Amino acid sequence: MEKLSRILRNIYTAIFLLMVGILAVMSAFRSAYFDADRDIETPMYKWDKPLLVIGFYLVVLYVTARIGRLLNSKKARKACIAAILFSLLLSLGFLFTLQSKPYMDCSALVELATAFNKGDFSALNSPARNTYLYIYPFQIGYIAYLQILFRIFGEGN
């Protein structure tokens, strides 16, 4: 009975690891996007540039290893500064290289933030009870955050 239990556990573990491996590869090399011309949100998938992704992972792995070595040495302050700068550069790289467009809920927030930056606050005092900010008033804080981002980086970024 013990042998059967071990065999079944190994089969289960192998299937689980296979699924996790497939999902890891798919998430590393494929991107999901939404077709802008459809009324229904249907996810579409496309393959990313595999050599670029592998190169990116290798660079991140190398820099992370270097920062880890610095942390283990007496240069911990330099390592912290290096980690912060690396994180900042990585974030800015994503910001300026990815060409994502807002859709659905996010699109409404971007439009409202853009209107607020132009001085149009009509969405706040609309008498209709089915407006976006009437239904989701908690989004005003995020809209304020978007306003600040748009003033720094330009509208739509």
> Per mean pLDDT, which of 15-19, 33-37, 99-103 is the most reliable?
15-19
Q: Name the amino acid, one letter, at 107.
A: S
Residue 47: strand pairing partners: 30
Q: What does the pLDDT look like over 60-81, one tens digit per residue?
A: 888 888 877 777 777 777 777 8
CB 27 within 8 A of CB 8: no
Whether residue 22 is predicted with pLDDT greater than 80 in this model: the reply is yes
Phi and psi at residue 46, in whole multiples of 5°?
-140, 155
Whether residue 129 is predicted with pLDDT greater than 90 in this model: the reply is no
Average pLDDT for residues 110-123, to the nearest whole number? 89
**Percent of all residues in the chain with a pLDDT value above 90, rounded to a whole number:** 17
pLDDT band at 21 (very low <50, low <70, confident <90, very high): confident
Distant-in-sequence, close-in-space partners of 150: CB < 8 Å, separation ≥ 6? 113, 114, 117, 156, 157
Q: Spell out the domain ranges in the chain.
A: 1-47, 49-98, 101-157
Mean pLDDT of the chain: 80
Output the CA angle 90-91-93, nearest 5 degrees.
65
Distant-in-sequence, close-in-space partners of 103: CB < 8 Å, separation ≥ 6? 34, 36, 41
pLDDT band at 40 (very low <50, low <70, confident <90, very high): low
Q: What does the pLDDT look like over 84-103, one tens digit per residue?
A: 888 888 878 777 776 655 55
Distant-in-sequence, close-in-space partners of 57: CB < 8 Å, separation ≥ 6? 28
**Both ends of the chain: CA-CA distance in Å?**
61
CB 123 within 8 A of CB 133: yes
